[in-house]
């Protein structure tokens, strides 16, 4: 039997479903994730794009290039602004879509986390229980420096 899960945004207009286990799931403390969520970290659950279906609602897209040259395409509910999905170019992200880990219907946290990344900008009050802790990310290779508010190296 295929494991299916549903979820959605705060207002409920944007609904989605996922099929099967994620390719990986992790916590990210990078400044991009802190700012795109407005929180201390993101919970990033990656699926093959074909395993994620939008059932209703409409998405707004915001694109930016990371300091390592990866193109982020962040998608939010056009009504309430919940950031549900993103894609990132390069590394092994092509063909994957990130799903915001807090947006699944209860029991929301049904998946297992494999690691936390960008611990260099982790909030001092965060203790995440995962098998692996990485100071940055295997794909982190800055080409052009981010402005100080986005640079997590001194946090």
Tokens of 74: 């962040």
Ramachandran bin of 120, using left for φ above 0, alpha for ψ from -120 to 50, beta for the remaining angles: alpha
| Closer residue to Zn ion, CB minimum distance, 3 or 39 | 39
- Shortest distance, position 103 Cβ to Zn ion, whole Å: 10
What is the b/e burial string over 1-17, where b = at least 16 CB atoms within 10 angstroms of the residue's CB? Answer: eeeebebbbeeeebbbb
Q: How far is the CB of 48 from Zn ion (least distance, A)?
A: 20
Kindly state whether residue 28 participates in binding Zn ion, applying the rule CB under 5 A.
Answer: yes
Any contact of residue 11 with Zn ion (CB under 5 A)?
A: yes
Q: Which of 25, 30, 97, 113 forms a contact with Zn ion (CB under 5 A)? A: 30
Site string for Zn ion, 32-71 (x = CB under 5 A): -x--------------------------------------
**Contact between 80 and Zn ion per CB under 5 A:** yes
Q: What's the CA gap between 146 and 90, in Å, rounded?
A: 19
The reply to whether 9 sits near Zn ion by the rule CB under 5 A is yes
Is the Cβ–Cβ distance between 84 and 118 less than 8 Å? no
Q: Which stretch binds Zn ion (CB under 5 A): 7-15, 58-66, 90-98, 128-136?
A: 7-15
C-alpha span between 105 and 103 (Å, rounded)? 7
Report, in Å, the least distance between residue 131 CB and Zn ion: 18
Q: Should residue 79 be labelled a site residue for Zn ion when binding is judged by CB under 5 A? A: yes
Distance CA 135, CA 141 (A): 13
Closest distance between Zn ion and the C-beta of residue 1, in Å? 30
Residue whose C-alpha is closest to residue 46's, from 117, 121, 143? 117
């Amino acid at each position: 039997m295929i494991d299916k899960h549903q979820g959605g945004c705060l207002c409920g207009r944007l609904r989605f479903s996922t099929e099967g286990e994620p390719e990986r799931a992790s916590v990210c403390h990078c400044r991009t994730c802190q700012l795109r969520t407005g929180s201390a970290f993101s919970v990033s659950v990656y699926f093959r794009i074909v395993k994620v279906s939008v059932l209703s609602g409409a998405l707004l897209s915001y694109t930016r290039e990371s300091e390592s040259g990866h193109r982020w395409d962040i998608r939010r509910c056009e009504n309430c602004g919940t950031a549900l999905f993103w894609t990132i170019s390069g590394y092994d992200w092509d063909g994957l879509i990130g799903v915001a880990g807090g947006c699944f219907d209860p029991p929301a946290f049904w998946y297992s986390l494999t690691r936390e990344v960008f611990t260099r900008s982790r909030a001092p009050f965060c203790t995440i229980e995962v098998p692996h802790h990485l100071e940055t990310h295997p794909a982190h290779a800055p080409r052009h420096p981010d402005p100080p508010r986005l640079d997590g190296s001194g946090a």
